Structure 1
Amino acid sequence: MADHIPSPVEPSPATTPDETTPVGAQSLSSSSSSQTITNDSEPTKPTAKSTHRSRKQQREDDRANWVNGKRPKGYRTPEGREAAEKCKNYKSGVSIPYLTHSCKTYEGVLKHAILGAIRSGGLSYGAKALVNLCLGMLKVMKGKGSFLTVAKDAFTGADALRFGSFFGMFSFLWKLVNNGLTLYRGTDDRINGAIAGAIAGLALFIEAPERRVTFAQQMFIRSMQGVYNAGKYRGQFSFRHGDALLFAIGSAQVMYAYTMHPDTIPKEFFQFMVKTARVPAEALAMNRTRVRGFPLDLKQVRAMVDRFNPTALTLETVANMSETVEALPCAGLHPWVDSCRETNIDRFVGVTKTIFPVYATLNFVPLVVLRMKRLLKDPVNVLSKTTFNTLRSSAFLAVFVALYQTQICTHRNLLNAGWKLGNSKYLYWLFGLVSAVSAIMVEQESRRAELAFYVIPKAADSLYRILYRKNWVKGVRHWEVMTFSFAMSLVMSFYQREEQVLSPFVTKMIYHILGKN
């Protein structure tokens, strides 16, 4: 029976206490092991602060996957979120579904194009007529017309009708060709957008010849902006403050044309510059005469200053002036006041008051037409911000004008003091550059690119006309339509697949006017 008595179970080496280990240490070790098991089985709950930090870090990690830390447009919609999540690398372009429209038959494509043309034409006609009405009301307030005449010209004039017809035809051709190619080829890609944009650009023939150049210049600049942003997002090139530099160079060329070649810029734009700068156009012509080495006609100088209520010092200066004076003195630039400082302060205040209604129209009309929901949602904040931006833009132009004239007056005063500075025509280009670099910093950074894209086409057109006059370049018939078609080919190609490389202004305008493609 002894053989059947089980032997006592020997403890395993892993559980056998070390003979050299004190009893207290064994108890402490057992307690630590027990505590460790307890901590592993029941993890501690995170505090509210740590939860907030983890969520914030998660949002930052999520934003890091998007261009410039911003999610793509349409991300908040379920369709947009689904499409965007499929491709975190939004730099290469993701077509957000809210921009697309499916046409399964050619009849559906034609119907969609016709309805889109009616919508686009009506919307653009209404917006243009409303802008013309607001600008016309400024004339009515000054007693230069009646409300009925202004309203008739705004809504039945050729300007608004051409504008609406142009956008309506562009929308029709764009939708017809783009969706037709998608249906025919069975794919929706950049090629469809490029071909459709180029063909739709032919709608520019509807516009007046003098307006075609403006459209071509603006859209060419916008297309180049898209090319630059596409390369920037891909890490190919980047240039900080490039918009400010473009504005400065363009403004320098425009101011050079304003003083030396006024016939190379649009007549209305030159008249606006003369009115804003408050320098007589005759004074600019007399200064050009001296720059080119011809003597002044003192009788014409005296007749000019007599029309502006001249001061006694002005009359004395003109009476003692030589026909070969190096530069037209300040007495001919502001004959109604002797102090250069006083006249420049007056220019700053006057320009601010004059340009404020214009900027108010340009800022508030798009707000009412395109962003009514945002205005109704938060009217106080939106209106106050728009008003502040209007004041800031007005101050920007006032600083530009006052600073440019200050440099002119300083140049004249140094000449009178005996400095041998000369009166080179390139000085006026340099004065424009300095004024632009300083004034652009007053404007909000988000608008600097828009200002650059406004002035660069005018500068390029002026430079082209100067070179053409010297027979350095040749003219091409309908070049503005060809340029516009090329630009719209690029723009609509980006809009089709990579809309984030276009400026928000262009994207919103295309989407609100053209609607779904």
Structure 2
Amino acid sequence: MPTPAPPVPASYYENFLEILAQIVSKLLTDKETEAVVASLRSFQDRLKRLSSQSFSRLRLELSIAEKDHAPFCHHAGKTCIQNSLRGFIKAFSVAFTVKYLIGILPALLTGKLLKRPRILKQMAGRDTMCFALFLSTFLSSYKAILCAMRRWRKNPDPSSDKLNAFVAGSVAGIALILDRDKRRRQSIMLYLLTRSFQFSGAWLMKQWGLQRQTRRRKELAILKEKVDREGQPRELEVGKKWDDYLAKFIQRWAGVLVMMLANGQIIYSFLLNSETLPRSYFTFLLTHAGWKSDVGGLAEPLADVIGNNIRFLSETRGSIRLPKDTTSYQYIADHVSPNIASVIPAKLRHKYIMCALQHPLEDSCSRSAFRSFKLEYLRALKLYVPLNLIMMGVFRSGQLTSNPNLVLRKFAISCLRSGLFLTMYVTMGLGSACTFRRIFEKERHWMYVLVGVVGGSMTLFEARGRQLELGLYCLPRAMEAFWKTMEKQGRIRNVRHGEIWLFMASMGVLMTLYQNEKDTISPHYLSVMTRFFGHN
């Protein structure tokens, strides 16, 4: 039974009309004020007569709305059907608009739109429609299934909503099949799978912290009882255990550890299985390794030759040194590739075969590292300065006018620091390969995993807040490359629509945390999810 609305006291109308009359009286003359007051009194009498009927009708409407609105749902002011339908329309409109604008933006910036105006129609075609349909169907079905689960289970315990959210998120994830672009489906799945790992890790750290806190309370209580029995006043303090130090270490270095793990796979794939990396990312690595600037169009063939020779030297287990009586040019031309040899200066004598391929313009590993640092820092600044300019314009435009010195100083520090990270990533990554050759005097596949680990550790030069984000940016590419490498080696097989199953699992986890453990989601992503999913 709905609780009846309390009767409205007569003083409500009198106080309201009195305040309104006081405000209006300051704008009118005495005669006008008297006329207004008379009309307001007449209006007051009419409100009193109608109030009883109005509130009876209002109570009836509220009663009907409450019957339709599940008591366990949190979408105030809307029924479950209205909430789902509104979510569909809103998500479809936003997704279609954003996808459409992203599609025409390159043509607009390059001027192609003026020459080919039909691009406007093409970008509103099937691909954009399918993408918008996927997002809107996912959002609306999630809301509908969540409400249905709550109505069906009728469990008022807040913890029971975890199962509701997991089922709703998982089942709604089937909507990904509506997006016809398989590559995009995989990218979406990998991104959200990575975020589900991140926020699940934060939840596990939270639970671990609560367990340690409970243990400390128990130890403190035991210590207090012991002190009370002895009757000797002293300061009560429980020392930290090994797991407290481990938790602190993980919290501080999680970003660097993730980056090291991801880049161990990425660099291994870059040198030995380049086809397992996205084409754009492979090109990015070729550029920043310096091979495009050193050998031009031979950069990609050089990467293939390096991979083939690592495999050959690893399998034959022969000498990795160049003969002392021959130049690098002669050896590479006779035994490896005449095309690659054409870029090596004639008089250079590298110590190792792979060094002649890795840094063909310098026979000294240390000089090559110094040259790589100098050139890569300039390339890194060309990457980060425009990027940080855009970020400053979008997120700090207000501060730029109020406190320009602070904003510009942060901008300069951010560019220099990020440039240093990328430069050290390249320099230490490539340089460590030369170091491992000297230490082990052999070529093995696992050495290039270590090369990636060393390069990834250079994330410590970045700001703490960016370290984990960089690691999570690289992790999806590492997971994709690892899966393709295992598939290439015949150790696993692809599962039909595997990206959809993984997307369903990821969304089940993410929506469970969103509905029940919001403090484990970083503020930025929580804000985005709240705008997208709302309160359910």
Bucket of the pairwise TM-score, normalised by the shorter protein: 0.5 to 0.7
Residues 197 and 485, structure 1, Cα contact 8 Å, conserved in 2: yes
Q: Return the match for 2:432 from 374, 387, 407.
A: 407
Greater gyration radius: 1
In the superposition, relative to structure 1, how do residues 128 and 386 fare at CA in structure 2: closer, same or farther (>3 Å)? farther
Deviation track 1:15-58 (CA, whole Å, cap 9, x = no partner) reads xxxxxxxxxxxxxxxxxxxxxxxxxxxxxxxxxxxxxxxxxxxx
In structure 1, how many angstroms separate the alpha carbons of the residues matched to 2:535 and 2:423? 41
Does residue 211 (structure 1) correspond to residue 181 (structure 2)? The answer is no
* C-alpha spacing 1:407/1:154, structure 2 compared with 1 (3 Å): farther
- The amino acid that maps onto 1:329 is C
Q: Is 1:428 matched up with 2:454?
A: no
Q: State the match for 1:322 in structure 2.
A: none
Deviation digits for residues 342-365 of structure 1 (CA, Å, limit 9, x no counterpart): 543443344344344554565565
Deviation at 1:181, TM superposition (A): 4.8
Amino acid of the structure 2 residue aligned with 1:385: K
CA spacing shift, 1:181–1:233, aligned 2, 3 Å: same
Q: Deviations over 1:302-345 (max 9, x none)?
A: 32242x4x43424xx49xxxxxx963333x33334555445434
Q: Residue deviations 1:356-403, cap 9 Å, x none?
A: 455456556566667877778767655653554344223211210111
Q: Which has the higher helix share?
A: 2
Structure 2 SS opposite 1:473? coil
Q: Aligned partner of 2:186: which letter?
A: V
Instruction: Please give the alpha-carbon distance, in whole angstroms, between the structure 2 residues aligned to 1:277 and 1:508.
Output: 37
Change (3 A) 1:106 1:501: closer
For 2:200, the aligned partner's letter is V
Partner of 2:275: 263
Q: Distance in 1 between matches of 2:419 and 2:121?
A: 28
- Kindly state the Cα deviation for residue 486 of structure 1 after the two structures are TM-superposed: 0.8
SS in 2 for 1:101: coil
1:121 to 91, 95, 101: 95
Q: Which residue in 1 is equivalent to 2:511?
A: 492
Which string of whole-angstrom CA distances, capped at 9 and with x for unpartnered residues, describes residues 117-146 of structure 1? 14541564377459x649x96xx6xxxx96
SS in 2 for 1:311: coil
- The 10-residue stretch of structure 1 (356-365 or 234-243) with the greater mean CA deviation from structure 2: 356-365
In structure 1, the partner of 2:6 is none
* Structure 2 residue corresponding to 1:313, chosen from 336, 347, 357: 347
The amino acid across from 1:171 in the alignment is L
| Aligned residue number for residue 142 of structure 2 | 174
Q: Is the Cα–Cα contact under 8 Å of residues 467 and 473 in structure 1 kept in the other structure? A: yes
Render the CA deviation track for 1:274-307: whole Å, top value 9, x for unaligned: 122123333332233333337976376332242x
Task: For residue 461 of structure 2, give the secondary structure of its aligned residue in structure 1.
Answer: coil
> What is the deviation of 1:105?
2.6
* C-alpha distance in structure 1 between counterparts of 2:535 and 2:403, whole Å: 27
**CA contact 1:124–1:167 (8 Å) conserved in 2:** no
Assess if the C-alpha contact under 8 Å between 1:121 and 1:167 holds in 2: yes
- Determine the C-alpha separation between the residues in 2 that align with 1:372 and 1:487: 36
Contact 1:257/1:264, CA 8 A, preserved across alignment = yes
Correspondent of 1:389 among 396, 407, 414: 414
- The one-letter amino acid of 1:313's match is K
Residue number in structure 2 paired with 1:16: none
Equivalent pair of 1:370/1:512 in contact (CA under 8 Å): no
Q: Distance in 1 between matches of 2:93 and 2:388?
A: 23
Query: Residues 104 and 404 of structure 1: is their aligned pair in 2 closer, same or farther, counting only changes over 3 Å?
Result: closer
Partner of residue 303, structure 1: 339
Q: Which residue of 2 aligns with 1:272?
A: 284
**Cα drift, residue 406 of structure 1:** 1.8
The alpha-carbon distance between structure 1 residues 374 and 348, as it changes in their structure 2 partners (threshold 3 A), is same
What is residue 201 of structure 2 aligned with on the other side?
A: 228
**TM-score normalised by L of structure 1:** 0.64
Tell me, in whole angstroms, the C-alpha distance in 2 between the residues paired with 1:164 and 1:379: 40
Deviation at 1:461, TM superposition (A): 2.3
User: What CA distance in whole angstroms lies between the structure 2 residues aligned with 1:447 and 1:150?
Assistant: 41
For 1:103-122, list aligned pairs within 5 A: 104-122=78-96
Cα distance in 2 for residues equivalent to 1:150 and 1:386: 38
Q: State how far apart, in whole Å, the 1-side matches of 2:470 and 2:116 are.
A: 29
In structure 1, the residue matched to 2:255 is 243
For residues 368-383 of structure 1, what are the structure 2 equivalents within 5 Å?
381=406
- CA drift of 1:203 comes to 3.1
Pairs aligned (count): 394
Residue 465 (structure 2) aligned to one of 446, 467, 478: 446
Q: 2:482 aligns with which of 463, 466, 471?
A: 463
Q: Distance in 2 between matches of 1:155 and 1:514?
A: 30
- Judge conservation of contact 1:311–1:338 (CA < 8 Å) in 2: no
CA apart distance, 1:193: 2.6
Give me the whole-angstrom Cα distance separating, in 1, the residues matched to 2:129 and 2:359.
Answer: 42
Amino acid at match of 1:328: M
Report the AA paired with residue 304 of structure 1.
I
Residues 504, 398 of structure 1: alpha-carbon distance in 2 compared, 3 angstrom cutoff: farther
For CA contacts below 8 A with separation 6 or more, give which structure has more relative contact order.
1
Three-state SS of the structure 1 residue aligned to 2:347 is helix
List aligned pairs for 1:498-517, cutoff 5 A. 498-517=517-536
Q: Quote the offset at 1:422 in angstroms.
A: 0.8
SS at match of 2:442: coil
Q: TM-score, normalised by structure 2?
A: 0.62
Structure 1: distance between partners of 2:424 and 2:121: 36
Q: How many angstroms apart in 2 are the aligned matches of 1:110 and 1:405?
A: 53
- Paired residue for 2:61? none
Residue 170 of structure 1 and its aligned partner are, at CA, apart by 3.2
d(CA) in 2 for partners of 1:207, 1:498: 33
- Looking at structure 1, the residues matched to 97 and 404 of structure 2 have their Cα atoms a distance apart, in angstroms, of 23
Contact map agreement 2:333 2:341 (CA 8 A) in 1: no
Q: Which residue is equivalent to 1:41?
A: none
> Amino acid of the residue matched to residue 443 of structure 2?
N
1:202 paired to 2:174: yes
How far the C-alpha of 1:112 sits from its partner, in A, is 1.8
Query: Quick one: distance in 1 between partners of 2:494 and 2:337?
Result: 38
Q: Whole-Å Cα distance in 1 between the matches of residues 515 and 367 of structure 2?
A: 54
Q: Which of residues 239, 252, 255 in structure 1 aligns to 2:264? A: 252
Q: 2:355 aligns with which of 313, 321, 329?
A: 329
- Describe the shift of the 1:212–1:459 C-alpha distance in structure 2 as closer, same or farther (beyond 3 A): same
Q: Is 1:101 aligned to 2:121, yes or no? A: no
How far apart, CA to CA, are the structure 1 residues paired with 2:116 and 2:379? 20
Question: What SS does the aligned partner of 2:354 have?
Answer: coil
Q: Which blocks of at least 5 consecutive residues in structure 1 are unaligned?
A: 1-98, 319-324
Q: Secondary structure at the match of 1:293?
A: helix
